Amino acid sequence: MRRSPLLGFGARRAFSSLLLCALVVAFGCKDGSKTAIISGKVTYKNAPVTGGTIQFTPAKGGPAIPGIIGADGTYSAPGVATGEMIVTVETESAKFAGSGYDMSKAPAGVDGSKAPEIKKLAYVEVPKKYNDKGSSPLRYEVKGGKETKDFELTD
């Protein structure tokens, strides 16, 4: 089977993140713990980060829960377990925004939703430390329910 040149590593990673997110929302957490829907805005140098993903990884270990960063810097991450989270941000996947791939022809997600309009996303390079849970300085204590948390990235 031949791979499409339009789905590079970043696009596959974003698709995998979306699929994981849909599965978490569909099946919930098996241990009965509470979860949250976290939304907010990611900025760097007082400007919106206009594409990429944000991930919430439990500090005590466990799978990361992703959220997609939109063209205005906003994100939403459903199904995040309560407790202390290490937060990472990657923007490399937004490099594919100018590839010309028409997302209106992309298949629907598990819940019937379409992928975000990638053509509007723009790559914003952020410091590499935010892309790795071992070096990201971002932490957030999740309490449960609907929560709003903005993240300002610095050098």
The whole-model pTM stands at 0.69
User: How far, in Å, CA of 53 to CA of 61, rounded?
Assistant: 20
- In this prediction, residues 71-95 reach a mean pLDDT of 95
Residue 15, φ and ψ in degrees, nearest 5: -65, -45
- In single-letter form, the type of residue at position 150 comes to D
Q: pLDDT tens digits, residue range 96-132?
A: 755 544 555 555 555 555 555 545 678 999 999 999 9
39 burial type by CB count under 10 A (0-12 exposed, 13-18 middle, 19+ buried)? middle
